[in-house]
Structure 1
Amino acid sequence: MNEKQAWSVSGLPTLFAFIAAYVAVVAAFIYGASQQSPPFIIGAMFTTVMLTLLTKGFFQVQPNQGKVMQLFGRYAGTVRDEGLRWTNPFYSKRDVSLRVRNFESSKLKVNDSEGNPIEIGAVVVWQVVDTAEAVFRVDDYEDFVQIQSEAALRQMATSYPYDSHDTGEPALLSHPKVVNQHLRDEIQERLGRAGVDVIEARITHLAYAQEIAQAMLQRQQAGAIIAARTRIVEGAVSMVEMALQQLHGRGVVTLDEERKAAMVSNLLVVLCGERAIQPVVNAGTLHH
Structure 2
Amino acid sequence: MVERIDSMTPSSESRGNAYNGYFMLVLLLVLLLSPVLLLIAAAPKGAVVASAVFAAVSLVFILIGFFMIQPNQAVVLTLFGEYRGTVRKDGLHWVWPWFGNEKVSVRAHNMHSERVKINDLRGNPIEIACNVVWRVADTAQAVFDVDDYKEFVNIQIEAGLRTVGSRHPYDSMSEDDETTLRGSADVVNRELIVELNERLHVAGITVDEAGLTHLAYAAEIAGAMLRRQQADAVISARRKVVIGAVGMVEDALEKLAADDIVELDDERRAAMVSNLLVVLCGDSEAQPVVNTGTLYQ
Range of TM-score over shorter length = over 0.9
Query: Which one-letter code corresponds to 1:200 in the other structure?
Result: E
Displacement of 1:283 = 2.0
1:189 to 170, 186, 198: 198
Structure 1 counterpart of 2:28: 18
Q: Identify the range of structure 1 (265-274 vs 229-238) with the bigger mean alpha-carbon deviation.
A: 229-238
- For 2:35 and 2:76, locate their aligned partners in 1 and report how far apart those are by CA, in whole Å: 33
Out of 132, 138, 141, the residue aligned to residue 124 of structure 1 is 132
Q: CA RMSD in A?
A: 1.7
**SS of residue matched to 1:280:** coil
Q: Distance in 2 between matches of 1:44 and 1:205?
A: 66
Question: What is the 5 A alignment of 1:1-288?
Answer: 1-28=11-38, 35-36=44-45, 38=46, 41-42=49-50, 44-165=52-173, 166-288=175-297
Name the amino acid aligned to 1:224: A
Given that 1:107 and 1:120 are in contact with CA atoms closer than 8 Å, whether structure 2 keeps it comes out as yes
The CA distance in 1 between the partners of 2:109 and 2:54, in whole Å, is 47
Q: How much does 1:5 deviate?
A: 1.8
| Contact 1:29 1:41 (8 Å CA) reproduced | no
Question: Which is worse superposed, 172-181 or 218-227?
Answer: 218-227
Any stretches of 5+ residues in structure 1 without a counterpart? none
CA distance in 2 between counterparts of 1:248 and 1:152 reads 64
TM-score calculated relative to the size of structure 2 = 0.91
For 1:276 and 1:78, the matched residues in 2 are separated by 79
1:35 to partner: Cα distance: 2.6
Separation in 1, partners of 2:225, 2:50: 87
Asked if the contact 2:28–2:58 (Cα under 8 Å) also holds between the matched residues in 1, the reply is no
TM-score, scaled relative to structure 1: 0.93
Query: Bigger shift: 156-165 or 109-118?
Result: 156-165
Decide whether the 8 Å contact of 2:160 with 2:195 is kept in 1: yes
2:157 aligned counterpart, secondary structure:
helix
Shift of 1:29: 6.1
Paired with 2:16 and 2:127, the residues of 1 have a C-alpha distance of: 46
CA deviation after TM superposition for structure 1 residue 281, in Å: 1.4
Equivalent residue letter for 1:130: D
Change (3 A) 1:144 1:67: same
State the alpha-carbon separation in 2 of the partners of residues 44 and 258 from structure 1.
122
Contact 2:34–2:51 under 8 Å retained in 1: no
Tell me the CA shift for residue 44 of structure 1. Answer: 4.5
SS at match of 1:261: helix
Query: What is the CA–CA distance in structure 2 between the aligned matches of 1:44 and 1:247, rounded to whole Å?
Result: 117
Is the contact made by 1:125 and 1:200 (CA closer than 8 Å) also made in structure 2? yes
Deviation at 1:30, TM superposition (A): 6.5
In the aligned structure 1, how far is the partner of 2:212 from the partner of 2:107?
A: 22
In the other structure, the counterpart of 2:3 is none
Count of aligned positions: 286
Aligned residue for 1:103, secondary structure, equals strand
- 2: distance between equivalents of 1:29 and 1:113? 84
Q: 1:29 to 1:136 in 2, by over 3 A?
A: farther
| Range moving further from structure 2, 196-205 or 51-60 | 51-60
Q: Partners in 1 of 2:91 and 2:251 — Cα distance?
A: 81
What residue ranges of structure 2 are gaps of 5+ in the alignment? 1-10
Question: Contact 1:118–1:206 (CA<8 Å) still a contact in 2?
Answer: yes
**Whole-angstrom CA distance in 2 between matches of 1:45 and 1:248:** 118
